[in-house]
Every structure is written in C-alpha cells, then in structure tokens.
Homo-oligomer: A and B are copies of this chain.
C-alpha cells in the first residue's frame, strides 16, 4: 500500500511539472505505461533466447553457428512482424580455440583449468617453462629487461571486486589486454593470468587480448580462480613451479554479419532508433547472458510496441550485431563498425535519433542513463514516471559511449542511452562455459523487456531530439 501511495504522488508530481517537450505528453506517457504493463504480462524474450541458445549453442564470431543463428533470427524477426529484415555481411579475422591444455609438471604433476585468451596464437607444440608470479601489471612492467627470458609470466591480481555496475572489471580487463605484450617485452614465452571474474569455480574466463602490430605477441591463457589460488599458494610454499602449456588456437579469414529488422514508423519512418545487442558469443558457453539476452530483450520490447494497437511515429530498429567479442582497437572487423560504415555510405547517419544497447546480462534494470543534454529534462521526468514502478530511477551519470556495438555510432555523434542492469553476478558467468540459459531469471528478463518497451515508446512516439537538447535549455527542477 505504501508503494501505491508513493507511486501516485510521483505520478502527480511529474504531471504537474511537465512542460511540452513531448508534444503528446500525458497521452504518450499513459500509452508507455500500458506498453510497459503489456510487456510484464507477456513477451517473447524467453522464447527467443531459449530457442537461440538451445538450437545453436555457442556462436563464436565468424563461425558457421553465428551465421546459422543469424539466418534463423532473421526468420524469427519476419515471423514476428518486423519489416525490412536483412543480413549485412562483413569480413572478419576469426579465431578458433582448437585444443588446449595446461598442467603443473613440477614439483609434482597437477592439472590446471585454463582457457586461451581470444586471438592468442597457438603454442606450436608444447611450451614448458618455470613460472614467475606478479601481483599486478605494474609489477610485471617494472621487471628488469630480459628478466623473463624463457619464463612464463603469471599475474594474479586477486579476485575481481563484485560491484552492481560491473566496475570491478576494468582493472582486470586491462591486464588481459596488455599482459601478453608486457610479458613479451621482458622475454617471456607465454602469459597466464587469474581470470577476470568474480566467481570461485573451475571456470576460466576467456576474452580478447590486444593486438600489437596486427597480432597477439604471445600465447596467453586465463586460469580459473581456484587454479590461480593453487599456483600462488604453491609458489608461496617456496616451490619452483614448472608449467606445461599447449594450444592449437589460430586465426582465419571469415565473415560475420549484422541482422537488422525494423518496426517502421507510422509518420516519421526515416527517424531511426537503434536497439543494439550482439549475436556472437564466446565459444565456451552458449551465450545466454552475453548476449542472447540482449537480443531477446530488445526484440521483445519492439514486438510489444508493434502490437500495442498503434505504431509509433518513428522507426524502431533492432540490430543483432555480429562479432562483438573479438573487436580490436586496430580491427574494424566487428558489427558496430560495419553498421556505421553502411549507414554513412547511405547518408543516413543524421536520421539516427538515438541508440541504446543491451549487453550486460538479464538481471534487473535499476537505472536510466540519458545523453548529457537530456539529463534533468522533462523527457527524463516522463521516463522516470514510466520506469519508477518497475524499480528504475534516473541516474545522475549521463550515458556517453553506450557499448561496443553502438560505440561507433556514438563516436559519430549519435546520442545514446543506457538502461543499467544489476551486474552483481554478471562476472561470475561472463565469458565462461557457465554462460547458459539456466542463468537467466525469467522474471528479471521480463522487467528488462518492460523497461525497454516503455522507454523506447516514449522516444519513438514523440519528437524528442537528444541531438539538440542541452542541459541549459530544458527546465531543471
């Protein structure tokens, strides 16, 4: 009961203070609330992600599985009322894990659970060498030149800090990116690290490491957390630890593709709102939370809007990007870049009103982040009214980049928004074999669909223009 009273109060407050940034205001908001509630009652998100992950399993960038899943998803879109459904292919340097193994060979033999990092070269046979341990990238960087000649460099920077917003990931993903080059610079023959993850399972977390001059300079592996513990403890007992590594990982020339489908706008079809997520997954799991869920949420939200009885003014475009996981700063072969290039070539960049990306699992959304100009605007107030009853508040932090897939659009000037998901358990599963369908909570998945549907309706059936909004131009209450 207290909740209802507070909702009514919040609603009255928002309505009383609204100024006509949204031409339709009250009617648009009411319709957004009805769409939100329709999504809570029924949506296709769980069906989509169940079929996707079950029929195709893992969908590595550039693989036949990614290609087959993309063709299937295009059909799924067509069957669910999307228009202009198309697949746009682009060339890609793919990477295949092949067969890998790691073990301690001395002082006594023990198995280790590892995963090669994305784009790691193979070992060309077996690498056997002593391990030198560091507790940070800085410590490795500070090692004397050539001090690791013939050694395996090991960074154990401790378990990832568990945070709702996932901010524990940054420090560890930097080690993953820069570690192989740093180790190579000191003469090491391979690089190993504690996984960038927050779990304590025998589940190594893969992920791409960084190219230097067009390739990853050393074979590079993540250890599962208990294996990193074990190695650190064994070294701590004063033992000289010798390790054997083998991997047949390799790159190859292939293609990937973006799958695109529209809910065509009724009155201003050329104005496009992009809802992004990615189709590819890492090879170890079945890509349920990363990022089958993102496709499920955005597809289902668009579908709820399409079936709400009235098409919105603007076009809602769902893009299932290919090849997000292997993106390199120096590698244009990913879906986000390919989409931008096609849009620019067609002269349609200016038509892109706004873009949002869902790529952080399927747990509940707790915050809305708008582009800087829309912070504290009447649009933000209207959105908060629609999203507050399902637990989403406006964040004081604006959205600037959006994510890997819509990042290229953002860099080209397209405003972005973010619906921040609870990432508390995301990095238990991220890039591991454990990223499977059972990890999705259907109730939280549905809350995501409702938030996306309500918010996207507000944008799609209005003339709000994030490009021209400036914080000073909208009333700050």
Which residues on A are within 8 Å of B, measured CB to CB? 50-51, 53-58, 65, 68, 104, 107-111, 113, 200-203, 225-226, 229-230, 233-234, 237, 283, 285-286, 432-434, 436-439
A438 / chain B contacts, CB cutoff of 8 Å:
200, 225-226, 229
- Complex contact A109–B65 (CB within 8 A): yes
Contact residue among B54, B108, B202, B225 (Cβ-Cβ distance under 8 Å from A56): B108
**What distance in Å separates the Cβ of A3 from its nearest Cβ neighbour in chain B?**
32
- Complex contact A436–B230 (CB within 8 A): yes
**What distance in Å separates the Cβ of A389 from its nearest Cβ neighbour in chain B?**
31
A104 / chain B contacts, CB cutoff of 8 Å:
57
A234 / chain B contacts, CB cutoff of 8 Å:
54-55
- Complex contact B230–A54 (CB within 8 A): yes
Q: For the A-B complex with A56-B108, A225-B438, A229-B438 known, give 8 more contacts whose Cβ atoms are closer than 8 Å.
A: A55-B107, A57-B104, A58-B111, A65-B109, A200-B439, A201-B434, A202-B436, A226-B438
For the complex, what is the distance from the CA of A434 to the CA of B428, rounded to whole Å? 14
A439 / chain B contacts, CB cutoff of 8 Å:
200
In the complex, the chain B residue whose C-beta lies closest to that of A233 is B54
**What distance in Å separates the Cβ of A415 from its nearest Cβ neighbour in chain B?**
39
In the complex, the chain B residue whose C-beta lies closest to that of A107 is B55
For the complex, what is the distance from the CA of A200 to the CA of B201, rounded to whole Å? 12
Contact of A202 with B203 at beta-carbon distance under 8 Å, contacts A108-B68, A111-B58 already known: yes
**What distance in Å separates the Cβ of A118 from its nearest Cβ neighbour in chain B?**
17
**What distance in Å separates the Cβ of A112 from its nearest Cβ neighbour in chain B?**
9
In the complex, the chain B residue whose C-beta lies closest to that of A202 is B433
For the complex, what is the distance from the CA of A311 to the CA of B329, rounded to whole Å? 70
Q: Which of A55, A65, A225, A234 has the most CB of B within 10 A?
A: A55
For the complex, what is the distance from the CA of A452 to the CA of B58, rounded to whole Å? 48
For the complex, what is the distance from the CA of A111 to the CA of B237, rounded to whole Å? 38
For the complex, what is the distance from the CA of A432 to the CA of B200, rounded to whole Å? 13
Can you list 8 A-B pairs with a CB-CB distance of less than 8 A?
A53-B230, A57-B104, A200-B438, A201-B201, A202-B285, A226-B434, A226-B438, A230-B286
